[in-house]
Amino acid sequence: MANHSPNHGNSPKTPNGSSSKGFRRYAIYGGLATVIATGVLVASFVLNPFTSASPKLLLHKVERGTLNLSIMQRGTLESAYNRDVVCRVKSGKTGSTYIKWVIEAGSQVKQGEKLVELDASSLEDERQAQQIVVDQAYAATIQAKEEYDIVVNQNQSDIETAKVTILLAALDLEKYTGLPRDSVEQMTLDELLKLDLSSRTPERGEYRQLLDDVNGRMKLAESDVEMWTERAAWSDRMVKKGYITPSQAQSERSRLDSARETFKKVQMEGDVLQVFMKRRNETDLKSKLMEAKRALDRTIAQAKAKAVKAESDFQTKRSIHLQEQVKLSDVIEQVSLCAIHAPQNGMVVYYLSDQNRFGGGTQSIIAQGETVKEGQKLMQIPDLEHMVVNMRVHESAVMNIRGDVWKPTGFSDSFHKLQTTFLLMPTDPWMLLSGSPFVGYNTEDAKDRFRQFDNVKVASGQPANIRVDSFSKRALQGHVKSVATVATQDFMTPDV
């Protein structure tokens, strides 16, 4: 490169001796020629639309249309219906149970095939003991039912006896006072209290009969007095004339005195009957009728109290029997739960929790002789005939993905309410004693069995193309089933 330092006084020289002024002229002319040639070349490409493109350029015709957005992501192939096998044997008094037999992992099973058999010896002992309690409660219930029937029958007898007593007392009062038939039987206590019989002279009845008898005897005694009075006067006249002796006349006067005494006695008997006996008998008979009516009210009240007490005792013992029956059904169900069967067709996979996977869990392994607890997950049965792909998508793309739309039906909850209603309020009081299909029915089993009816699909998710590594050339057709509502909890990828 040339040195462009300043030269005072003389013009610079090129290496061949030419002056600096001529060198500049040639440089300017060359630059202009280069610019003109470049402009012509660019204009030929820009202004000529028919110029053929270079084979190294990738071109595409721009058109107006719909932009298709595709999301590509790798995922894991899983079973769509992965049923968990859980130990549902309650701990209770016997504590944890242990595994007597278990099927090998990886085995292909069909629905209903036995997977695990748990020890049920302690539950069998509990079942026998509970059966004795149920039998005793049933015997007490039967006895209480018989006693209730006896009390009801006795109450009916007591009430009928009290009604008969009222009828007899009313008849006695009507018979004595001569009142019309059935006139006082239907009277209330207040009406009987207001009934005044003292100023009434009956024309019939027992009192009238007694009064007529006394009056008849009184007239007869009065007639005897008159007769013996005349006889005594005649005797006195005969004594004066000397036809009879004085002793005979004295005998006639004695008979007159006796007739007078008899008349006084009958007259006094009539006075007592009218003044005292009538009022006394009427009061006594009316009070007996009133007391009979009060006795009927007491008998009815006592009958109700006895019936309520007997029925309460029967209901209590029946409730105890039902409770013990439910306990027995629960124990029988626990015995049946010791044999665990496959809920669906699939392959047996022993369950291993994430804590045990990394050595930090306390759950025991699934093997023969190992103890298990209630609620412990034992294994999983994946359905290999229905598969899904579990993939993670960035949150920025989730808004463009739509899964199946389901509408809840509440079938399992309605079934559970129906089960509870039949268990607590049976229409037949002896339904649970004879055995009900709702007794001991496991709610979780019902939810698993009817889970498919809990929701109905109203719209399908977006279509998806799936390729499996083992069949990379074969495209499988599917659709988006569901999209999680929250991102993963993995701290390595918290945004997917």
Q: What residue ranges do the domains of the chain occupy?
A: 1-53, 142-317
Structure confidence at residue 428 (pLDDT): 42
Residue listed under structure tokens 């278990």: 102
Residue listed under structure tokens 């029958």: 153
Which among 193, 191, 170, 177 has a CA at the least distance from the CA of 280? 177
How many other CB atoms are found less than 10 A from the CB of residue 249? 20
Does the pLDDT at position 52 exceed 80?
Answer: no
Does the pLDDT at position 43 exceed 90?
Answer: no
Which among 443, 438, 441, 440 has a CA at the least distance from the CA of 413? 443
Q: Per residue in 94-116, pLDDT tens?
A: 567 888 999 999 899 999 999 99
Phi-psi region of 437 (alpha: psi -120 to 50; beta: other; left: phi over 0): alpha
Residues 12/20, Cβ–Cβ less than 8 Å: yes
Does the pLDDT at position 340 exceed 90?
Answer: yes
Going by pLDDT thresholds of 50, 70 and 90, the confidence category of residue 12 is very low
Distance between alpha carbon 218 and the CA centroid of its chain, in Å?
Answer: 86
Asked whether the whole model's pTM tops 0.75, one would answer: no
φ, ψ of residue 426 to 5 degrees: the values are -70, 145
DSSP state of 180: P
Residues 332/440, Cβ–Cβ less than 8 Å: yes
In DSSP terms, which residues pair with 347 in a beta bridge?
108
Strand order of the sheet with strand 82-86? Answer: 82-86, 377-382, 349-350
Q: 3-state class of 190 per DSSP?
A: helix
Structure confidence at residue 3 (pLDDT): 39
Which among 352, 348, 346 has a CA at the least distance from the CA of 116? 348
DSSP state of 244: S
Going by pLDDT thresholds of 50, 70 and 90, the confidence category of residue 13 is very low
Which among 388, 408, 411 has a CA at the least distance from the CA of 482? 388
Does the pLDDT at position 24 exceed 60?
Answer: no
Q: How far apart are CA 496 and CA 494, in angstroms?
A: 6
Q: How far apart are CA 298 and CA 305, in angstroms?
A: 10
Residues 178/208, Cβ–Cβ less than 8 Å: yes
The percent of residues in the chain predicted with pLDDT above 90, rounded, is 27
Structure confidence at residue 35 (pLDDT): 56
Query: What mean pLDDT comes out for the span 302-310?
Result: 95
Q: How far apart are CA 61 and CA 85, in angstroms?
A: 59
